[in-house]
């Protein structure tokens, strides 16, 4: 549920939202976006007014807007995924949009959300393998259930762990490998089975930098391939790093990852360079408003473009309070 909203004179808004003890820390740096206390109250009221609307039988829908699962952003909007709906806030004019079953958005247990600036589309996924694409330009909502409906996959294999967008595709890291979705027509592309001899493996996260794609395989290491090769051919996927990583991400066109010892590193082909330590019970890395955030169960760390720590939130002794 909503834990804290506050505005500070340094022109940042910290929004800490807690679901299943997961804390998301959002930084809205206002170098070119004007947000004042009125906006913070507007955002605060959005959470509670939508909860009240959801409880109104005349609205003919029941939705939870006070539990945030994932966050993404465009140049002018911030997008929030709750358990079963999306809403956005326009940071320039305080406009708010809501997507739920009333207007065709059908997704429960949302776990991932990412926005494509090129295609003006939101991609949201669930624990069960369902995918929804919201086209903001046309207002259409596409529900993709191919992974969910595939009977040969177990529940764990259907889970979508992470999404990366590049070169016109949304690359989904799943319990069996990687699946690509074409963003021009919202249809499935190819799936890549990148284990030994083309076996299924759990890919926890995927990142694209330049013309290369990187896949973190649970307990195995990072494999990489050129986007210019046949990605279906497992032999084109080679080991980039054989250490055990919990998560990887593209940050400022550099591969960044968290190791099993909770150290966070810049990763290249010859070495890894540590620039910090994340908290215990690490959950995921994310990039928001040009900052890298490492989220743990009760803590969050954020780094700027120079990999300096700019904010720490948490309940442990080595985390400072707001």
CA–CA separation, 108 vs 112, rounded Å? 11
Residue 311 lies in a domain: yes
254, 264 Cβ separation under 8 angstroms: no
Residue 299 lies in a domain: yes
Q: Got the DSSP string for 81-115?
A: E-SS-EEEEETTT--EEEESGGGT---SSEEEEEE
Q: What is the dihedral of CA 127, 70, 313, 291, to 10 degrees?
A: 120
Residue 29 lies in a domain: no
pLDDT for residue 71: 83
pLDDT for residue 47: 41
Residue 250 lies in a domain: yes
Residue 31 lies in a domain: no
Residue 234: φ, ψ to 5°: -65, -20
Residue 288 lies in a domain: yes
Q: Which residues of 120-130 are buried (b: 16+ CB within 10 A; e: fewer)?
A: ebbbbbbbbbb
pLDDT for residue 158: 96
CATH code for the domain of 262? 2.40.10
Number of domains in the chain: 1
Specify the pTM.
0.80
- Which residues, including other chains, have CB under 8 Å from residue 28's CB and lie 6 or more apart? 12, 13, 35, 78, 91, 289
CA–CA separation, 164 vs 170, rounded Å? 6
H or E segment to which residue 296 belongs: strand 291-296
pLDDT digits (tens, 9 = 90+) for 142-179: 999 999 999 999 999 999 999 999 999 999 999 999 99
Residue 158 lies in a domain: no
pLDDT for residue 313: 74
Q: Which domain holds residue 310?
A: 243-322
Residue 321 lies in a domain: yes
pLDDT for residue 296: 85
pLDDT for residue 311: 81
Task: Report the chain (322 residues): mean pLDDT per 10 consecutive residues.
Answer: 33 36 35 36 39 40 59 85 85 76 86 94 94 93 95 96 96 98 97 97 98 97 98 98 97 96 94 93 87 85 92 57 38
């Amino acid at each position: 549920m909503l834990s804290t909203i506050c505005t500070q004179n340094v022109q940042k808004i910290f929004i800490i939202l807690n679901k299943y003890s997961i804390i998301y820390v959002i930084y809205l740096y206002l170098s070119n976006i004007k947000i004042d206390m009125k906006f913070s109250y507007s955002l605060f009221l959005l959470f509670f007014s939508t909860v009240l609307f959801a409880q109104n039988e005349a609205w003919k829908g029941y939705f939870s807007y006070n539990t945030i699962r994932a966050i993404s952003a465009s140049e002018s909007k911030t997008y929030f995924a709750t358990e079963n709906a999306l809403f956005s806030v326009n940071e320039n004019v305080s406009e708010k949009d809501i997507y739920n079953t009333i207007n065709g958005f059908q997704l429960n247990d949302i776990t991932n959300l990412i926005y494509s600036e090129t295609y003006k589309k939101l991609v949201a996924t669930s624990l069960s393998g369902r995918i929804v694409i919201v086209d903001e330009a046309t207002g259409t909502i596409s529900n993709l259930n191919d992974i969910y409906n595939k009977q040969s996959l177990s529940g764990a294999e259907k889970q979508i762990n992470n999404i990366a967008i590049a070169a016109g595709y949304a690359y989904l890291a799943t319990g069996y490998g990687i699946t690509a979705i074409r963003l021009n027509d919202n249809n499935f592309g190819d799936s890549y089975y990148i284990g030994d001899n083309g076996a299924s493996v759990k890919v926890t996260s995927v990142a694209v930098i330049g013309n290369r794609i990187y896949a973190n395989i649970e307990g195995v290491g990072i494999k990489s391939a050129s986007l210019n090769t046949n990605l279906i051919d497992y032999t084109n996927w080679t080991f980039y790093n054989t250490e055990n990583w919990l998560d990887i991400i593209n940050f400022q066109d550099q591969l960044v990852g968290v190791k099993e010892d909770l150290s966070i590193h810049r990763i290249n082909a010859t070495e890894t360079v540590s620039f910090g330590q994340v908290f215990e019970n690490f959950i995921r890395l994310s990039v928001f408003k040009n900052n890298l955030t490492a989220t743990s169960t009760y803590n969050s760390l954020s780094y700027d473009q120079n990999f300096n720590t700019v904010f720490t939130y948490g309940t442990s002794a080595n985390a400072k309070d707001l």
